[in-house]
Structure 1
Amino acid sequence: MEDNEFQLFQAFLLENYEYGDVISRSGGCRKIRWRALNKGKRGGVRVIYYNRTMSGRLYLLTIYTKNAKEDLNEQEKAILRAIIQKLA
């Protein structure tokens, strides 16, 4: 994702912080699908983030391309849960 695309994504997410789907067994993380500019149909990315509503902070945790994988495995979800516990 280019810098200008990332800035557009950040602006979108700040306004639409509940847009992504909640990932089961992840501690409340969300996954949003974002189409990368000039990459065609298969150029999308997945962004995993956590919105800590009490403090108003939004944490971008990881990003990966659509063709790298579709879903997180249980080990990755456990890592996300551990990260969220440390943020709390």
Structure 2
Amino acid sequence: DDFDDVEEDEGLDDLENVEEEGQENVEILPSGERQAANQKRITTPYMTKYERARVLGTRALQIAMCAPVMVELEGETDPLLIAMKELK
């Protein structure tokens, strides 16, 4: 119908050259070089209440959807309580 007018081979030449171009843009670093791993941190080592709420909520949702639990359960069934126990 609407697609009958379009040639099927249109634009395939560009796709065939993608692999060749992709290999030219890759730069492999020697194992001795690291990228800025020893720079001083500019963030605090503490989690804000907003970050904590986000992490706990996300993990509680994962636990509620039957994700494996990373701590020993002592009768807890509430996903949020389990997430809090994991975070500690």
TM-score, normalization: structure 2?
0.26
Larger radius of gyration: 2
In terms of fraction of residues, the more strand-rich structure is: 1
TM-score, normalization: structure 1?
0.26
In terms of fraction of residues, the more helix-rich structure is: 2
